[in-house]
Structure 1
Amino acid sequence: MKKLMTAAALAATIATGAWAEGKTHYVAIHVDENDPQVMNMALNNVANVASYYESQGDSVVVEVVAYGPGLNMLIPGKSPVENRISAMSLELENLTFAACGNTLRAMSKNAGHEISVMDEANVVPSGVVRLIELQEDNYAYIRP
Structure 2
Amino acid sequence: MKTIMKSAAAAAVLAVCMGGAHAEEAMHRLSIQVDQDDPAIMNLALNNAKNVKNHYAAKGESVAVEIVAYGPGLEMFVAERSPVKTRIASMALEDPEITFSACGNTHQALNKKEGRVVALLGEASEVPSGVVRLMELQGDGYAYVRP
TM-score by length of 2: 0.82
**Whole-Å Cα distance in 2 between the matches of residues 76 and 87 of structure 1?**
14
Runs of 4+ in 1 over 6 A off after TM superposition: 20-23
**Whole-Å Cα distance in 1 between the matches of residues 80 and 27 of structure 2?**
34
Structure with higher Rg: it is: 1
- The alignment status of 1:35 with 2:30, answered yes or no, reads no
Contact 2:30 2:145 in 1 (8 A): yes
Q: How do 1:54-93 and structure 2 match up within 5 A?
A: 54-93=57-96
**Whole-Å Cα distance in 2 between the matches of residues 119 and 87 of structure 1?**
12
Contact 2:80 2:119 in 1 (8 A): no
- Paired amino acid for 1:121: A
Of residues 95, 98, 117 in structure 1, which corresponds to 2:98?
A: 95
- Paired amino acid for 1:63: E
**Whole-Å Cα distance in 2 between the matches of residues 136 and 80 of structure 1?**
31
How many pairs were matched up?
A: 127
- Paired amino acid for 2:141: N
- Paired amino acid for 1:143: R
* Aligned residue in 2 for 1:111: 114
**Whole-Å Cα distance in 1 between the matches of residues 80 and 63 of structure 2?**
29
Give the Å deviation of 1:143: 0.5
**Whole-Å Cα distance in 2 between the matches of residues 79 and 125 of structure 1?**
21
Give the Å deviation of 1:138: 0.4
- Paired amino acid for 2:81: K
* Aligned residue in 2 for 1:138: 141
- Paired amino acid for 2:80: G
Name the % identity: 52
Q: Please list every run of 5 or more consecutive structure 1 residues that lacks an aligned counterpart in the other structure.
A: 1-13
Give the Å deviation of 1:77: 1.8
